[in-house]
Amino acid sequence: MVNIKEAQTRKDLIDPKLSEAGWDTSIQEIKVICEYPISPGKIEGQGRKRQPKFADYILEYKGRKLAVIEAKSEDLSVSEGVMQAKEYAMKLRLQTAYSTNGKEIYEICFNSKGESVSEKEIDSFPSPEYLWKKTFSKHDIWKEKFDTVERARKFEPRFYQEIAINKTLDAIAEDRNKMLLTLATGTGKTVIAFEIAWKLFYSRWNLQKDGKRQPRILFLTDRNVLANQAFNSFSPFPEDALKRVSPKEIKKNGSVPKNASIFFTIFQTFMSGKDNTPYFGQYPKDYFDFERIHGRKSKGIRLQALFR
C-alpha cells in the first residue's frame, strides 16, 4: 500500500521528473506502470497471508519492460528503497533499477546473469530511447520487429511468462537454435508457446529472415489431449494457419499436410507410417522453422518445454 507521504512524493516530485525525462504516456510506445504486481503474498497457514508485493513503477518502451523504480517519501533516505529495487529487478529479470525519494535517484545496473555491476547516484531519470539502447546494446532488427507485434489477447502474461517469452524471442533473434523452458504444471506453458508463435507469425520471421513468408511451426506433444488443447488455444490465429495432423487424414490423402503455418500432432503419429517408414520423413529436413517440444533433428529452431 502507498502511504500518504509517499503518494505525495510521487505526485509532486517523481512523476514530474519522469515526465521531464521523456516518459510521456500519451505516446503509444511509452508506458509507466504503477503498482505492478510482483507477488500475491505467500500463504503461511492458519488463515494468514503475507502482504502482496507491488513494484511502485515499471518503465516500459516499445513493448518491453526496461526498469523498475522503488519510491520512498521525501523525508526518507534514498537508500531505503535500494534492496527492494534490487529484489524486484532480479525477479523481473530487468537490467536497471532505481530507488528514489523524489530528490535523489539511485541507479543499480545488472548484467544478463542478474549480477549487480554498478551502483551510483544520478541527477535524472534516463529517456526511454537511452534506456532502450542501454538494455539492448546487442539489439538487432528482429528483436524490434517482435516487440512491435501487439498481443492477441488483452490480458497481461504473468511476469515469469513474459520473461520466458522475451528470453526465447531474444535467443531466436540472436540465431540460437535450442532453448529449454522448465515450468511447473499449471504455470502456462501453452500460453507462452502461443505468444511466441504469435510474434513469429505476425513479424513474418523464418529461418531465412527475409520476411517473405510466415514461419512453419510444429507443436509436438506425447498425448492427443494435449495436442487438441493446444490447437484449441491457438484459435485467435487465422483458421487456415492451423492444422491438426492425424494418421487418419494422412492415410486418406496419401501424404502429410503442408497447407498451414502451425501444425499440431503427437510423437506417435509422426513415428507411424507404411513399411516402418515414419510419416515425419515426408517433410523436408528444413521444412519447419520452429519446433515446440522435442522436434526431430532439422535445421529448425527447437524449443523444449519440460512437463514437471
Residue 171 and residue 114 share a domain: no
Give the residue from 135, 169, 188 where a domain finishes: 135
Which residue, 36, 155, 142, is CA-closest to 94?
36
Give me 59's grid cell. Answer: 518503465
Total domains, the chain: 2
Chosen domain end from 112, 135, 158: 135
Radius of gyration over every alpha carbon of the chain, rounded to an integer in angstroms: 23
Q: Are residues 291 and 260 in the same domain?
A: yes
From the list 296, 247, 243, 244, the residue with the least C-alpha distance to 274 is 247
CATH number at residue 120: 3.90.1570.30
- State how far the Cα of 53 lies from the Cα of 36, in Å rounded to an integer: 9
Per-residue pLDDT of the chain (308 residues; tens, 9 = 90+): 557 889 999 999 999 999 999 999 999 899 999 999 987 766 666 667 667 889 999 999 988 999 999 999 999 999 999 999 999 999 999 999 999 999 999 999 998 778 888 999 999 999 999 999 888 866 568 888 898 898 887 677 888 999 999 999 988 988 888 888 888 888 888 899 999 999 999 999 998 888 899 999 999 888 899 899 999 999 999 999 999 998 888 888 888 999 999 999 998 888 887 777 788 888 888 889 988 753 334 444 556 544 33
**Does residue 10 sit in the same domain as residue 122?**
yes
Domain with 222 in it: 141-307
What is the Cα–Cα distance from 247 to 272, expressed in whole angstroms? 8
Instruction: For residues 30 and 169, give the distance between their C-alpha atoms in angstroms, rounded to a whole number.
Output: 21
Do 130 and 52 have their domain in common?
yes
Q: Report the C-alpha gap between 102 and 104 in whole angstroms.
A: 6
Q: Which CATH number does the domain housing residue 262 bear?
A: 3.40.50.300
